[in-house]
Amino acid sequence: MDIVGISRPIKDSLSLHDDEIASSFLTEEQLRTIDESIEKHQKAFDELQVALLALKARRNSLIPVSQIPPEILAHIFSFVQSSDPNPMICSTKQHLARATLTHVCRQWREIAVSDPSLWVSLPVRMHKWVAEILNRLEGSFHSVDAGSSEVSNPGFHLVLDNFHRLKELHLWDIDLGGQIFLQSYLPKSAPELESLKFISRPGSYNPKFPNTAFSETPQLRRLHIANCVFDWRTHNLLRCSLTHLQLYNVQVASPRLTGKQFVDILTKMPELQVLALDNFLPSRDEQNTSTWGSGNIHLRKLETLYIHSRVTEIEDFFRSVTFPSTVHATVIFHSEENPDHSNALFGIARSYSNAKLLFQSLCLNESCKGLRLGLHAQVWPDFDNMMDAFSVTALIDITFHFIDGDVTTFPKIMKDIFACGIQFRDIRRAYIYSIGDTTVLAETIGKLPGLDSIALTPFSAYHFLNTREGEDTNTLQNFFPKISSVCMFDITLVNASDAGESQGTKHWGFLLARRDLGQPIEKLIMRNCGGVDDIAINLLEDMVIHLDIDPITQMRSNTNEGAALSSDVQN
């Protein structure tokens, strides 16, 4: 058979091909010789590998790092945790310093694997390292932090597969997608879980807390939930023997929790040490009647209390719940209620036998309504009685946010506060929010003997720093003899290059007075300020010992951004 285009018959071509294959065959003896050679070289290679490993082991045992005692290594390893890349910005190719410690030598590996401080958390974004860390750990691992973008990551799936070994789980910035995923995949049982933090993304939509998860958590001691809907009826979390319970902006699924039911919940937490309730207290019924009933509970181990709710709800709480007088309590009231708040305050004081330390930490500002409600004009005459009712004799911590615009009332308020005999000796810092009278400001802070640091905002800086017509700068100095540090936020100073040196220094009366009296401020901190050009910096360096200016202030000053401070105040 012939094919067009081929000069030789096919059978002749196949015959030639068979002859070539036959000529390439090796004899059995030749194959045996090659096999023996391979075996010989493989044996030599294995011996070389053993010798190489022995040399590496000997070298590692002789290098200086191998001579470090185990107890010293353990302390060194404790600092390694902070060297891990930030899980929010790192890539999966980045390595973990704590994991590489296990590859240095046998001694390091044994100490690193046995040191629990190195395995506090798992970087779920770097799932390859999660797998290695899980393989190196024989028992339970400590904690996992994950946001909505991490919960669908392969690393978090590895965590779910080992959920029975987890001790702490912190879920933050959970959106609707993250909530749906967690609802579907979070296990019901977490036998080793000791701490759970679930914080959803603040916004108009609050995700639901996964009702099907965490139904079996016998070791749970710390619970922190924020910005979500929580169904207290179907969940066992509030039935655990918790030591820390923190609920912030948690919407309770209908029907709303009653006071009696809440007492029953607290009764199951005799070890409670920290209780924080933000807008979670049971409200009164439609007839404004308490739903707490006659039951009460004493939280004998409570150390810290934070409550933010309506006055009536807080009053009902203190009628049914008592705790040791050593508790550090912060109580914040809503403002949209009955204008005569003093009666409610007195009711709380009378209902709580150990009210002496109830307001151990007071904050006078518009966001912290606790005591400021008692400073309103209609109830201010009762301030002395209110202090007596609470038996307040000393304030350990206080922040002054001076009330803006109420220049006529403020001097009387501060006079009455100091007339009550409250001790302010432990107060070291004051945040000056707003005040329209420098003299009142100076007199007030002058009565704080322990004060050594003040922080100024744009609303207060103008009256504090300016030297006005007929005002003696020495007066300011006499009232602030011990101030060593001043911090300025978002303040635009008069640009010295535009106003001239004499005009520029006129607006820094307090700093200038301290310098002229030979007691310059030790430290001046400026954050996000304007008007600080080269001339201003030279003047400030002459008035203070150490000047700390952030890059934003320098950038704004270099671009000549910002108007005069007086213009800021007027705007």
What own/partner pairs with CB < 8 Å and gap ≥ 24 does 407-412 have? 407/435, 407/436, 407/437, 407/440, 409/377, 409/380, 410/435, 410/437, 410/440, 411/437, 411/440, 412/380
Taking phi over 0 as left and psi of -120 to 50 as alpha, with beta for the rest, 214 belongs to left
Measured in Å, how far apart are the chain's first and last C-alpha atoms?
A: 105
Domain edges within the chain: 70-84+94-119, 427-571
Most confidently predicted of 142-151, 215-224, 504-513, 541-550: 215-224
For 304, list phi and psi in degrees, rounded to 5. Answer: -135, 130
> How far is residue 63's CA from residue 387's CA, in Å, rounded to a whole number?
69
Angle at 524 between CA 521 and CA 530, to 5 degrees: 135
Give the model's confidence band at 274: pLDDT under 50 very low, under 70 low, under 90 confident, else very high: very high
Q: How many CB atoms lie within 10 A of CB 196?
A: 23
Q: What is the pLDDT of residue 64?
A: 76
148: tokens are: 């909505």
Among 136-150, 171-185, 392-406, 452-466, the range scoring the smallest mean pLDDT is 392-406
Q: What is the rounded distance in angstroms from the CA atom of residue 532 to the CA atom of residue 558?
A: 8
Q: Which residue has the higher pLDDT, 283 or 391?
A: 283
Q: Is the pLDDT of residue 112 over 90?
A: no
Amino acid 55: pLDDT: 87
pLDDT surpassing 90 at residue 521 = no
Q: Which residues of 72-84 are buried (b: 16+ CB within 10 A; e: fewer)?
A: ebbeebeebbeeb
Instruction: Quote the pLDDT of residue 139.
Output: 61
CA distance 347 to 197: 35
- The answer to whether residue 15 scores a pLDDT higher than 80 is no
pLDDT for 354 equals 40
**Cis peptide, bond prior to residue 255, ω within 30 of zero:** yes
In 3D space, the residue among 137, 82, 130, 135 whose CA is nearest the CA of residue 113 turns out to be 137
Percentage of residues of the chain with pLDDT beyond 70 = 53
Residue 249 has pLDDT above 80, yes or no: yes
Which range (21-25, 115-119, 223-227, 520-524) has the least confidence?
21-25
Q: Which two tokens stand for residue 483?
A: 């101030």
> Is the whole model's pTM more than 0.75, yes or no?
no
Per DSSP, the three-state class of 139 is coil
Per-range mean pLDDT, top range of 49-63, 72-86, 145-159, 434-448:
49-63
Which helix (DSSP H) or strand (DSSP E) does residue 555 occupy?
A: helix 551-558
Contacts 24+ apart (CB under 8 A), 95-98: 95/129, 96/123, 96/126, 96/129, 96/133
Judged against a pLDDT cut of 70, whether residue 275 lies above it is answered with: yes
Residue 17 has pLDDT above 70, yes or no: no
- Top pLDDT among 283 and 505 is at 283
126-177 confidence digits (pLDDT tens): 666 777 777 766 666 667 767 676 777 777 777 788 888 888 888 877 877 7
Predicted confidence band of residue 405 (pLDDT cuts 50, 70, 90): very low
Kindly list the distances between the CA atom of residue 429 and the CA atoms of 297, 400, 461, 542, in Å, as whole numbers in the listed order.
Answer: 37, 9, 16, 24
Q: Which of 62-71, 427-436, 486-495 has the highest mean pLDDT?
A: 62-71
Q: Out of 4-13, 174-183, 228-237, 354-363, which region has the weakest mean confidence (pLDDT)? A: 354-363
Q: Which of 307-316, 341-350, 358-367 has the lowest mean pLDDT?
A: 358-367
Residue type at 154 in one-letter notation: P
Distance CA 182, CA 169 (A): 12
pLDDT in tens, 357-367: 333 333 333 33
Q: What is the pLDDT of residue 377?
A: 27
- The C-alpha atoms of residue 379 and residue 439 are separated, in whole angstroms, by 26
Cα-based distances in Å from 293 to 340, 347, 350, 532? 25, 17, 18, 62
* Alpha carbon distance 402, 434 (integer Å): 5
Averaged pLDDT for residues 326-347: 58
What's the pLDDT at 261? 86
Residue 57 neighbours by CB under 8 Å, 6+ apart? 106
For the cut 80, the answer to whether the pLDDT of residue 246 exceeds it is: yes
Q: What is residue 244's predicted lDDT score, i.e. its pLDDT?
A: 93
Of 358, 353, 425, 433, the closest CA to residue 396 belongs to: 425
Q: For residue range 286-304, what is the model confidence (pLDDT) as tens digits?
A: 777 778 877 788 888 998 8
> Average pLDDT over the chain, rounded to whole?
67
CA–CA distance from 105 to each of 61, 71, 218, 298, 361 (Å)? 8, 16, 39, 55, 52
Q: What is the pLDDT of residue 59?
A: 80
Mean of the pLDDT values across residues 391-419? 48
Q: Which residue has the higher pLDDT, 310 or 129?
A: 310
**Vertex 534: Cα angle to 532 and 536 (nearest 5):** 50
- Rounded Cα distance, 488 and 460, in Å: 10
Q: Decide which of 450 and 51 is more confident.
A: 51
Q: Which helix (H) or strand (E) segment is 114 a member of?
A: helix 106-114
Nearest C-alpha neighbor of 264 from the set 244, 293, 235, 287: 293
More confident residue, 233 or 498: 233
The residue ranking higher by pLDDT, 238 or 170, is: 170
Neighbours of 440 (CB within 10 A): 18
Residue 372 buriedness (CB in 10 A; 0-12 / 13-18 / 19+): buried
**Residue the block writes with tokens 């109420």:** 406
Identify the CA nearest to 250 among candidates 269, 268, 235, 267. Answer: 235
